C-alpha cells in the first residue's frame, strides 16, 4: 500500500506549478483554506524514509509525517523540475544532502524562502 507526503501549496508555489500537470493534483484542505498535493510513496521507499529520519512516522491516513523541512523542500523541488509526482527515487538520490540539512533543523527551523 502506498503512503503519501503532503506538500502544502501556497501562492508562491502555485506560481511555479501553474499550467503544469501538477495543477490538476491540488486538493483543498480545511474547506479550501489550504491547498495540498499528495505525493505517492511506495511502501519500500516509505521504509527508507522512516529509517533515514528517526522522528518520521506514518499517520492513520497513510501520510508520512514529522519529516524534516529539508525533505519536503526537496520533494517540491523535484516535483517542479520533473512536472510529475513520480519523483521519490530522485528525492532519495539526494538523501545525504537532505539529511545534512535536516541535522541543522534540530538547532533552528529555517525560515521560508522569500524571493
Domain spans of the chain, in order of start: 3-105
* 57 pLDDT higher than 80: yes
- Predicted TM-score (pTM) of the model is 0.87
pLDDT band at 110 (very low <50, low <70, confident <90, very high): low
pLDDT at residue 106 in the model: 72
Cell of 92: 532519495
The rounded distance, in Å, linking the Cα atoms of 56 and 11 is: 27
The tens digit of pLDDT for each residue in 64-86 reads: 999 999 999 999 999 999 999 99
Percent of the residues in the chain that have a pLDDT greater than 90, as a whole number = 81
Amino acid at each position: 500500500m502506498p503512503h503519501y507526503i503532503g506538500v502544502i501549496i501556497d501562492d508562491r508555489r502555485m506560481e511555479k506549478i501553474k499550467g503544469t500537470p501538477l495543477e490538476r493534483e491540488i486538493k483543498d484542505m480545511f474547506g479550501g483554506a489550504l491547498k495540498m498535493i499528495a505525493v505517492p510513496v511506495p511502501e519500500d521507499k516509505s521504509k527508507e524514509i522512516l529509517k533515514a529520519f528517526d522522528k518520521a512516522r506514518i499517520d492513520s491516513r497513510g501520510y508520512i509525517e514529522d519529516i524534516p523541512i529539508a525533505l519536503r523542500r526537496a520533494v517540491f523541488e523535484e516535483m517542479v523540475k520533473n512536472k510529475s509526482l513520480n519523483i521519490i527515487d530522485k528525492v532519495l538520490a539526494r538523501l545525504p544532502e537532505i539529511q545534512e540539512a535536516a541535522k541543522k533543523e534540530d538547532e533552528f527551523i529555517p525560515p521560508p524562502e522569500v524571493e
